[in-house]
Amino acid sequence: MVNAKDPFPYSHQMVNAKDPFPYSQGVSSTDIQSYVPVVEQAIGALLDSLIQRRAETISVAGIYPIGCSATYLTVFQQDLGPKTGCVEWVNDLARRHNLQLQLELNRLRRTHRHSKISYADYYGPMMHLYKHPGTFGVREKLAACCGGEGPYNFSLSISCGSPGSSLCSDPSSYAG
């Protein structure tokens, strides 16, 4: 939130590219992959704009392994990885996005040496959890704790908290 009394209201901003890719509009994986450069350019332009408005410290979060989310597992039920059970091509897309994002951040760091631009890696720690769920006390690494019917407790037509949705009894045992 921007404080109107702050002379430098954009001095610290958090940018989170949680999931910039569509998953249910019938878009092919090839088309989705073509969005990566466009998304990175848009993020770069946003960050450049914040820096022009005197942002000095910016934290940018990468994407977690979205191919392990109940949403993507429900929509794309093929190409599941043997170690994780996640949709491999979607995770490849997330890794590609994160790599391109880091390259864009490096470009911005060179251009704006006075700004502190940090990158938060969500992908690595979350993938470790998906590969070693027992280490963290997780019993359900892919199913959603709250949602609808289906193998991943997720439905595109029943959102969490709506009538007909279900809720797990132990949220700490779920990764998603």
Q: What is the pLDDT of residue 26?
A: 62
Q: What is the pLDDT of residue 175?
A: 87
**Residue that the structure tokens 């951040």 belong to:** 105
d(CA 53, CA 118): 18
For residue 118, the cross-strand partners are: 59
Residue 48 CA: distances (Å) to CA of 103, 139, 162: 14, 42, 39
**Shortest CA distance to 112 belongs to which of 55, 60, 62, 43?**
55
Q: Quick check: helix, strand or coil at residue 125?
A: helix
d(CA 54, CA 100): 24
Q: What is the pLDDT of residue 147?
A: 83
Question: 84: Cβ–Cβ under 8 A, 6 or more apart, which residues?
Answer: 65, 68, 91, 127, 130, 131, 141
Residue 63 CA: distances (Å) to CA of 14, 58, 108, 121, 163: 14, 16, 19, 8, 30
For the chain, the structural domain boundaries read: 12-131, 137-176
77 phi and psi angles, rounded to 5 deg? -100, 35
Q: Quick check: helix, strand or coil at residue 119?
A: strand
Q: What is the pLDDT of residue 9?
A: 38
Q: What is the pLDDT of residue 25?
A: 55
Please tell me what DSSP assigns to residue 133.
G
Beta carbons of 94 and 123 less than 8 angstroms apart: yes
Please give the chain's pLDDT, 176 residues, in tens.
333 443 333 333 334 444 444 554 566 677 777 777 888 888 889 999 999 999 889 999 999 999 999 888 988 877 788 888 999 988 998 999 999 999 999 999 999 999 999 999 999 999 999 999 999 999 999 989 888 888 888 887 888 888 888 888 899 998 87
